[in-house]
Chains A and B, each alone.
Chain A
Amino acid sequence: MKNRPSHSVLAALAISTIGLGAILVEHPAQAAESSETSQPDPMQFVRGAKAWANNCNRCHRMRDPKELRDDQWRAVLSHMRTRGGLTGQETRDILAFLQGSN
């Protein structure tokens, strides 16, 4: 049992390598963060409203933008991003929409 070539070690390594590769290649999330502060994108709110309407009632009832504060929406959206398979761009757009609507 102990001497066999371990596929699982290879798979664990593969998962971490893909991950590391992705992080080394680029980090658009951060780039977008800095560009956001310097230059607000007027269409972001509109895109966010659309993505919100399409996605945020897929699994549960629509939660009211007024339920939470801006910072709370940040954490919730990261949570929902992995749950719902949302892209980073969609997450930032929906966040802009929620933060502009609460």
Chain B
Amino acid sequence: MKRPRKQTGMATWLASLMIISMPVLAQTDLDRLTELEAKTTAMAEELAILRAELEAARQEEPESELEALRSEVAVATQTAQRAEKSANEWKNTSAVTHISGYAAAGFTSEKNGTDSFDLVNFNPIFHFQYGDLVMWESELEVRVADNGETEVGLEYSAINIFLNDYVAFVAGKFISPLGNFRQNVHPAWINKLPSAPSGFGHDGAAPSAEVGFQLRGGMTFGEQSRFTYAAYIGNGPKLEGVGGELHGIETGGFAGDKDDEKIIGGRISFLPVPKLELGFSGAFGDAAVVENDGLDLVDDPSRAYTVLGADLMYRWNNFGFLGEYIQQDIADNASSLIPMGGKWESWYLQSAYRFAATKWEGVLRYTDYTSPHPDESQEQWTLGVNYLLTPNSALKVAYEVNDGLAGAETDNNRWLLQVAYGY
């Protein structure tokens, strides 16, 4: 029995020990737990903050930077678009205004005459274009006269309406489409000599200008061939009598028609190959003497006016050939105050050679002009040398051997110097 008592005592002791020690143990764990819990909470909080920061860093900050970048790019794009638009604006406009033209200065030394700087002219050309449909072209001729005054003329001012690919309608004052020299060669930077061939200046054998309507254009056929045409109706020339004779045929282009007679004419040309052009011109109608010795003449009967011409252009290697014949004819009319008509006729042949790989060019031209007035008629040889400074300018020196009525100005040989610029 003793043994169970002893066992019971042991158990009781252990139990008491446990009971006594348990609260002690429990107390320590709780502290640590609390501490751990606090730490964990702090860490969780810290983690949450970090997460939030990370999230913010991940989401908000780059997003706003990206946004800023995006708007910067948008502004830059807009600026670039605006800049591109304004840079291209001039290319895409439907209307274009353009100035070109030519100018020349010259010196003439005439045998039995004077040596003088006798040429300063300025011919601005204005182009006003709308789409591919309309172009208005105007050329002024401004020059200093020998008395120092400035003379201004309207060389041409006409609208071109491109009706289709082959027809342009022209209205206004235009260069006479008859012949080649007046319309295609006379600008100083194009003409290879400082002078016009005799009879191809103003009021000679070749008509200068016309006021009226014109249709012109061209078409190609075959591999390389071309046909060009120009047809017009206009007021025609003005006839003047001086001392009982026809003074000349004035063809400067008149915005009025005292004789009320219109002229119809034109030119066609064929280019079997681009290097060769053959042109034929003609104009027909009536004209009347409207001025006699400086006074108006009314109701003088009209008479036939005829222009006939043929021209040729040919290029071969460094050679360039031009040739042209033109005549203006006024019929006789017995009941006119000036009964005698007359024929103004001229032709020239010109050949030019450009020395290979240099800027030098040599030119030779022969002209024979016959006018009803013997002091105007002239046979002329012109030899010239040019220095072709740029494709649009030239320095020209030429010598004219002139054979006219003895004692008349047309009989004097001349040295000519000219500087020409086309712009």
- A residues whose Cβ falls under 8 Å from a Cβ of B: 1-2, 6-8, 11-12, 15-16, 18-19, 22-23, 25-30, 32-33, 54-55, 57-64, 67, 69-72, 74-76, 78-79, 81-90, 92
Contacts and interface: CB of A to CB of B under 8 A. Distances in A.
Instruction: Classify the interface of chain B: helix, strand, loop or mixed.
Output: strand
Interface string B400-423: 000000000000000000000010
CB-CB nearest 8 A-B residue pairs: A85-B228, A85-B218, A8-B262, A88-B165, A75-B98, A22-B163, A54-B274, A75-B127
Interface residues of B, number: 63
A22 B217 CA distance: 13
A58 B277 contact: yes
Given A29-B132, A54-B274, A85-B229, 13 more contacts: A1-B299, A11-B264, A15-B215, A30-B132, A57-B315, A58-B313, A60-B422, A61-B391, A70-B91, A76-B127, A78-B127, A85-B269, A88-B164
Contacts, number: 149
A55 B226 CA distance: 10
B107 interface: no
Contacts of A16: 169, 213
B264 A88 contact: no
Contact of B165 (A2, A12, A28): A28
Interface stretch (B26-34, B183-191, B203-211): B183-191
Given A8-B233, A15-B233, A75-B127, A33 B132 contact: yes
B164 A29 contact: yes
B316 interface: no
B262 A25 contact: no
Q: Which of B162, B388, B422 has the most CB of A within 10 A?
A: B162
Contacts of A83: 183-184
Nearest to A19: B169
Contacts of A67: 391-392
A82 B170 contact: yes
A83 B313 CA distance: 15
8 contacts: A8-B264, A15-B213, A23-B161, A29-B132, A59-B184, A59-B313, A62-B391, A75-B98
Contacts of B242: none
B135 interface: yes
Contacts of A90: 220
Contact of B215 (A18, A59, A78, A84): A18
A52 to B, nearest CB: 11
Given A12-B213, A16-B213, A33-B132, A86 B100 contact: no
Contacts of B133: 27, 29-30
A17 B47 CA distance: 92
